[in-house]
Amino acid sequence: MAFEVSVFLENKIAHFEGITNILKSEQINIRSLTLTNILHGWGVLNLLVDKPEEAYQALTGKGNSVALREVIALEMKDETGGLDELLVNISRAGIHIENAYTRLISQTGMAILVLDVPDVIEAKRLLAQNSIPILADATVYGL
SS (H, E, C) the chain: CEEEEEEEEECCCCHHHHHHHHHHHCCCCEEEEEEEEEECCEEEEEEEECCHHHHHHHHHHCCCEEEEEEEEEEEECCCCCHHHHHHHHHHHCCCCCCEEEEEEECCCCEEEEEEECCCHHHHHHHHHHCCCCECCHHHHHCC
- How high is the pLDDT of residue 92? 96
Q: Tell me, yes or no, whether 65 and 9 share the same domain.
A: yes
Q: What is the DSSP string of 101-128?
A: EEEEETTTTEEEEEEE-S-HHHHHHHHH
Q: Tell me, yes or no, whether 80 and 120 share the same domain.
A: yes
Q: Tell me, yes or no, whether 52 and 96 share the same domain.
A: no
Q: Tell me, yes or no, whether 76 and 133 share the same domain.
A: yes
CATH number for position 28: 3.30.2130.10
pTM for the whole thing?
Answer: 0.88
Q: Tell me, yes or no, whether 39 and 77 share the same domain.
A: no
Residue type at 9 in one-letter notation: L
Q: Tell me, yes or no, whether 94 and 106 share the same domain.
A: yes
What is the extent of the structural domain holding 17?
A: 2-70
Q: Tell me, yes or no, whether 82 and 120 share the same domain.
A: yes
User: Going residue by residue through the chain (143 aa), what tens digit of pLDDT does each one get?
Assistant: 899 999 999 888 888 899 999 999 999 999 999 998 877 888 999 999 999 999 999 999 999 999 999 999 999 998 999 999 999 999 999 999 999 999 888 777 789 999 999 999 999 999 999 999 999 998 998 76
Q: Tell me, yes or no, whether 97 and 114 share the same domain.
A: yes
**Which of 34, 49, 70 represents a domain boundary (last residue)?**
70
- How high is the pLDDT of residue 106? 75
Q: Tell me, yes or no, whether 48 and 96 share the same domain.
A: no
**Which of 50, 70, 90 represents a domain boundary (last residue)?**
70
Helix (H) or strand (E) holding 71: strand 65-76
Q: Tell me, yes or no, whether 24 and 78 share the same domain.
A: no
d(C-alpha 34, C-alpha 29), whole Å: 15
Q: Tell me, yes or no, whether 61 and 93 share the same domain.
A: no
Domain count, the chain: 2
- How high is the pLDDT of residue 21? 97
**Which of 27, 52, 70 represents a domain boundary (last residue)?**
70
Q: Tell me, yes or no, whether 36 and 98 share the same domain.
A: no
